[in-house]
Amino acid sequence: MKVLVVGGGGREHTLVWKINQSPLVDAIYCAPGNGGIARLAECVPIKDDDIGSLVDFAKSEAIGLTVVGPELPLTLGIVDAFHKEGLKIFGPSKEAAQIEGSKVFCKNILFKYGIPTGAAEIFDDRDEAVAYVKGQETPIVVKADGLAAGKGVILADSQEEALAAVDLIMIERAFGDAGERILIEECLTGQEASILALTDGETIVPLVPSQDHKRAYDHDAGPNTGGMGAYAPVPAMNERLLRQIYDDILEPTIMGLAEEDITYRGVLYAGLMLTPEGPKVLEFNCRFGDPETQVVLPLYKGDVVEAMLAVEEGRLGTVGVGTDRGAAVCVVLASGGYPGSYRKGKEIRGLEALDGLDDVVAFHAGTTMSDGKLCTAGGRVLGVTAFANDIQRAIDRVYEAVDIVTFDGMHYRKDIGRRALG
């Protein structure tokens, strides 16, 4: 079978790496791919939101399964377009992808079906939003409704910051049309964690829980980023808590969508806050997380392509899915200045020393080949991931590997996974 992976970041490199292990696969293509993906797949110069060209390519190459990495093509309806042409594709429909594409849609589903989440109010009028903020205690969270490249959520520690956030989103339109509506939510406290669950709309299979590190600097300081690292599993999420998450969050969400005549097939990402009152939903994403995928998929036991085909064909319950014992830790190597401005084109050195190791993989996020050299091409450049029997050994191993890799201005957090050690 030929497989096409859509996207070009660290998540997609991880998907390609895992898919490459399947005996069902003869060839892998990736659109558009990156410098690291090119070692495992044929990179195709098609943008991930060019749905017509992706459909044409899948038809011309007789692609047996397409796997979508980013959220944008899913919210644009790539799954619907592929199905219209009789092509198999892993991911939710355009209607189902609203769970991420519209925070208002998501919140309304949570409220309607009694799924634990923070209190919130929805506004499409700036003055009404301002009046509401002036009556609230802080901290408080202001969210743009639509997709904002992970930057549309603002935690305001004061009313002044909250009012500025309202104007930034609704008046200055910092996130474009995503800011036509906003949510103003209570600020939940506790420990954050994520669950990626495979589902065909009936059967739901949660994968190993993980925890991302959003802040740019050690000890959760600095601005939010797309993620500076992750680890799995999460010791705080014991079997009782995982059962509660399944019963109170995952199953009611999938069944609630079904009540709305929406069959959700693909992976559902649940971003959770483990509050003193129990787990509550911060957000849902309609795709694999980044960098959570870099620690979850390496611990996945079984053939991921077989499971994805079962999801697409509505028979996930017939496939055995489980996770290996052990742990994984991913440290993101970023360009200096990220998440602000940064320079590209810096040569990456030392990666060849990691080749052939069976307990370390460097997943490429923002890399490119230039004059025969591997160079930086993004804010998050590499996700170095190590696997071991436990979190402590995985932490030690990943930082041994990180010390080998260099490029000018390289920045990374030195405390990834430490929270898991208590």
Q: Summarize pLDDT for 42-85 with one digit per residue, the tens.
A: 999 999 999 999 999 999 999 999 999 999 999 999 999 999 99
What integer is the mean pLDDT of 193-216?
Answer: 96
- Longest Cα separation, the chain: 60
| pLDDT, tens digit, 9 for 90 and up, residues 180-198 | 999 999 999 999 999 999 9
- Cα angle: 49, vertex 54, 58; to 5 degrees: 155
Beta strands in 33-134 (DSSP E): 42-43, 65-68, 89-90, 120-123
Query: What would the CATH number be for the domain defined by 191-323?
Result: 3.30.470.20
89 and 83 in contact (C-beta within 8 Å)?
yes
C-alpha neighbours within 13 Å on the C-beta side of residue 287: 27
Query: Does 125-180 carry CATH code 3.40.50.2300?
Result: no
Neighbours of 414 (CB within 10 A): 12
Q: 2-94 in CATH: which number?
A: 3.40.50.20
> pLDDT band at 151, cuts 50/70/90?
confident
What average pLDDT score do residues 383-404 get? 97
End-to-end CA distance of the chain: 45
Which of 165-169, 224-228, 281-285 is predicted with the least confidence, judged by mean pLDDT?
224-228
Q: Cα dist. 201→83, 179, 253, 289 in Å? A: 16, 30, 10, 20
**Is the fold of 125-180 the same as that of 191-323?**
no
What's the pLDDT band for 224 if we cut at 50, 70, 90?
A: confident
Fold of 327-421: Glycinamide Ribonucleotide Synthetase; Chain A, domain 4 (3.90.600)
Q: How confident is the model at residue 361 (pLDDT cuts 50, 70, 90)?
A: very high
Q: What is the pLDDT of residue 149?
A: 77
For 166-178, write each residue's pLDDT tens digit. 999 999 999 999 9
Residue 135: CB atoms within 10 A of its CB come to: 7
| Domain boundaries defined on the chain | 2-94, 125-180, 191-323, 327-421
pTM exceeding the 0.85 threshold for the entire prediction? yes
What is the per-residue pLDDT for 296?
97
